[in-house]
Structures are given as C-alpha cells and as structure tokens.
Amino acid sequence: MSSKNRQIALGAVALVVLVAAVIVTVARTSGGGGPSDTFTVDGICLACKQPVTAKYHCSERLPAVCPLCGERAVYGTYYCFDCGRRFVPHLVPASDGGPPVMPMIPTCSACGGHNVVGYLPEDPDQRGAEWAPLPEWPPGGRR
C-alpha cells in the first residue's frame, strides 16, 4: 500500500474518532440531573467574550442564549492537539438566515489542524489551554 493510501486511511479513522467524541460529549452533558430534553454546552459567548455554561433545548441548535448578556451567541469550543489551544471553529452561515452555526467538521482556527476534539473541562491540559483568536461578533455584514 502506498503511503498516500495510508494517509487517507488515517484521516478516516481520525474523523470517526472525532464524531464518536462529539456524540459522547452530548450524551454525557444531557444526563446530569436536568430535564433530558435539555443540552448543556461548555462554550464561550462571542458577544461578551466570556466562557459560559449555557443550556439549550434539544430542538434548538447552537448558538445558545448567553446567561450573562442574553445574546444568542454561545458556541461550543474545541481543543487542538496540534497547537494546544482552545478555539471556536470558523462558523458557517445559517441556511435560515439566523446566527451562523458550527461547522460539521471543525478545524483549528489558529493552525488549521484537524487533530481536534470537543473541549472537555475535566482535562487539566484543556482547561488551562490558551485561547485561539475568536470569530468576529456580530457576524460579518450585520450592523
């Protein structure tokens, strides 16, 4: 097998691991005591730039409403193993004209690496991670 094929195979494995990690995070955060139809996100509010824990209903999607400033601007965060920073991935425009949404496949906004996982506050390395520059808020074009 050529080394190129091996790289493709490795990429596929990384993607599966990433998807599994996201599913595990969602399953775990939805379990803790609250109503089961509510998700909790350990994210950051792009409007007031504060790391916050926000709840949102399972029929909704991110961004969630910020408990501090009331803006719908709380996004989930990821950790990049390549540069060791915590980041919000480049957001993609929403099809319904609402706030931009999280991309399906996040890449590091600082180094462009694919070696990322959903942020886990239990991990001391991730908790102490430096922040990569955050996406603009309000999103481009809105004044």
**Integer Cα distance of 85 and 44 in angstroms:** 14
Return the number of the residue (27 or 105) whose C-beta is nearest Zn ion: 105
Count of residues engaged in binding Zn ion, rule: CB under 5 A: 13
110: contact with Zn ion by CB under 5 A: yes
Q: How far is CA 125 from CA 10, 15, 42, 54, 103, in A?
A: 25, 22, 16, 22, 24
108: contact with Zn ion by CB under 5 A: yes
By three-state DSSP, how is residue 13 classified? helix
62: contact with Zn ion by CB under 5 A: no
- Select from 44, 66, 91, 129 the one that contacts Zn ion (CB under 5 A): 66
Positions in the binding site for Zn ion (CB under 5 A)? 45, 47-48, 66, 68-69, 80, 82-83, 108, 110-111, 113
